[in-house]
Amino acid sequence: MKALVKATAGPGLSLTDVPDPTPGPGDVVVRVLRTGICGTDLHIDSWDDWAAHNVHAPLVLGHEFVGEVVETGPAVTGVAVGDLVSGEGHLVCGACRNCKAGRRHLCANTRGLGVHRDGAFAQYVVLPEENAWVHRAPVDLDVAAIFDPFGNAVHTALSFPVLGEDVLITGAGPIGIMAAAVAKHAGARNVVITDVSEHRLELAREVGVDLALNVAERTVSEAQSELGMSEGFDVGMEMSGRPIALQEMIGNMAHGGRIAMLGLPAEEFAVDWSAVVLKMLQVKGVYGREMFETWYSMSVLLQRGLDLAPVITHRFDHTSFDEAFATARGGKCGKVILDWTGAR
């Protein structure tokens, strides 16, 4: 089969032939239809320090995908040939305390599809049955391909109740924009999203945020005044990983406010813990998706009219992966999709 491969340690990818995957007893084989390009894929492509320390070549990339099940192992009971599935890319051990307690998203032994084992940038991918989310209702293939990052957004956005609350989201990347759409859909009063990219802020306006704020030009405090707020934001979602963003968020939270952090900082930085204590703030780290409560919420949100179409801005055939990766790296885009339906 054709696959997009990190053949050797170093920058660059190649579209090449690799053996078809074979399922174990509890696995399913999926014919890939669409894939989404993630920041992790960009790291592996460029072979930065993170990739050099965490990835072993050769490796088939990719963990955001949708496809059709074409083969199942003999122990598979809940997934059938012909099912349309998206994949949960976190592969858990099933044996640790958290896994046995049903808290699989907290497994300390998690391995990543397309990071630690061959992934979905290929004609076929194999994964455990429990990691295959079957779409029981009609869903757009491009949207189904990005259920992984959509899940990050939903996990973050629903970490705390947002009904009637004022919400601040720092970082208008695709996940931040999807989180904003979820918060509005779930009944937030005001949703403010910040960034320095007007292109990304315009995408956020398309999903209906109340204010898309360029923090290179105006402050979050000014946003409060513009919206008639006086006591600060009730819920914060930090998506950027930038120190100044969290610091600004803490300074603009209401007393008793709650912050969900998904953005991963590149280095340690100072936090005004006195403000956290005196305002009695809650700060929660968020990673991946709750398996599989978040997936259920995603499907229901789409069935009840949540529109993610503005987030998907570019589509390429898989053979144009160089252009697709360059587009994703350039930043003037939302989610970038690779189409594998014509792969031979």
Checking if the pLDDT of 270 tops 80, the result is: yes
Q: What percent of the chain has pLDDT over 90?
A: 98
Q: What local confidence, expressed as pLDDT, does residue 285 receive?
A: 97
64 annotated among ligand-binding-site residues: yes
93 annotated among ligand-binding-site residues: yes
Residue-wise pLDDT tens digits, 300-309: 999 999 999 9
38 annotated among ligand-binding-site residues: yes
155 annotated among ligand-binding-site residues: no
For residues 37 and 119, give the distance between their C-alpha atoms in angstroms, rounded to a whole number.
12
- Closest CA relative to residue 62, chosen from 107, 21, 104: 21
Q: What are the chain's domains?
A: 2-146+308-339 (3.90.180.10), 160-285 (3.40.50.720)
Active-site residue, 314 included: no
Checking if the pLDDT of 125 tops 90, the result is: yes
Catalytic residue among 35, 40, 110, 294: 40
Residue-wise pLDDT tens digits, 147-183: 999 999 999 999 999 999 999 999 999 999 999 999 9
The widest CA-to-CA distance across the chain, in whole angstroms, is 62
Checking if the pLDDT of 283 tops 80, the result is: yes
286 annotated among ligand-binding-site residues: yes
Section 9-34 average pLDDT: 97
DSSP string, 151-204: HHHHHHHTSS--TT-EEEEE--SHHHHHHHHHHHHTT-SEEEEEES-HHHHHHH
Residue-wise pLDDT tens digits, 77-122: 999 999 999 999 999 999 999 999 999 999 999 999 999 999 999 9
> 132-134 and 84-87 as β-strands: parallel, antiparallel, unpaired?
antiparallel
195 annotated among ligand-binding-site residues: yes
Q: What's the pTM value of the predicted model, to 2 decimals?
A: 0.96
146 annotated among ligand-binding-site residues: no
- Kindly report the backbone phi and psi dihedral angles of residue 203, in degrees, each rounded to the nearest multiple of 5, phi listed first: -60, -40
Per the CB < 8 A criterion, the answer to whether 211 and 226 are in contact is: yes
**Sheet hosting strand 59-60, strand order edge to edge:** 14-17, 2-6, 59-60
> What's the pLDDT band for 342 if we cut at 50, 70, 90?
confident
107 annotated among ligand-binding-site residues: yes
By 3-state DSSP, what share of the chain in percent is helix, strand and coil, each rounded to 5?
30, 25, 40
Report residue 63 as tokens: 């963990």
92 annotated among ligand-binding-site residues: no
Q: What is the mean pLDDT of the chain?
A: 97
344 annotated among ligand-binding-site residues: no
> CB atoms < 10 A from the CB of 249, how many?
25
Per the CB < 8 A criterion, the answer to whether 61 and 22 are in contact is: no
Q: What local confidence, expressed as pLDDT, does residue 74 receive?
A: 97
Catalytic residue among 43, 116, 199, 314: 43
Q: What percent of the chain has pLDDT over 70?
A: 99
- For 276, half-sphere exposure in the C-beta direction (CA atoms, 13 angstrom radius) is 12
262 annotated among ligand-binding-site residues: yes
Active-site residue, 40 included: yes
Residue-wise pLDDT tens digits, 23-76: 999 999 999 999 999 999 999 999 999 999 999 999 999 999 999 999 999 999
339 annotated among ligand-binding-site residues: no
> To which residue do tokens 């315009």 refer?
202
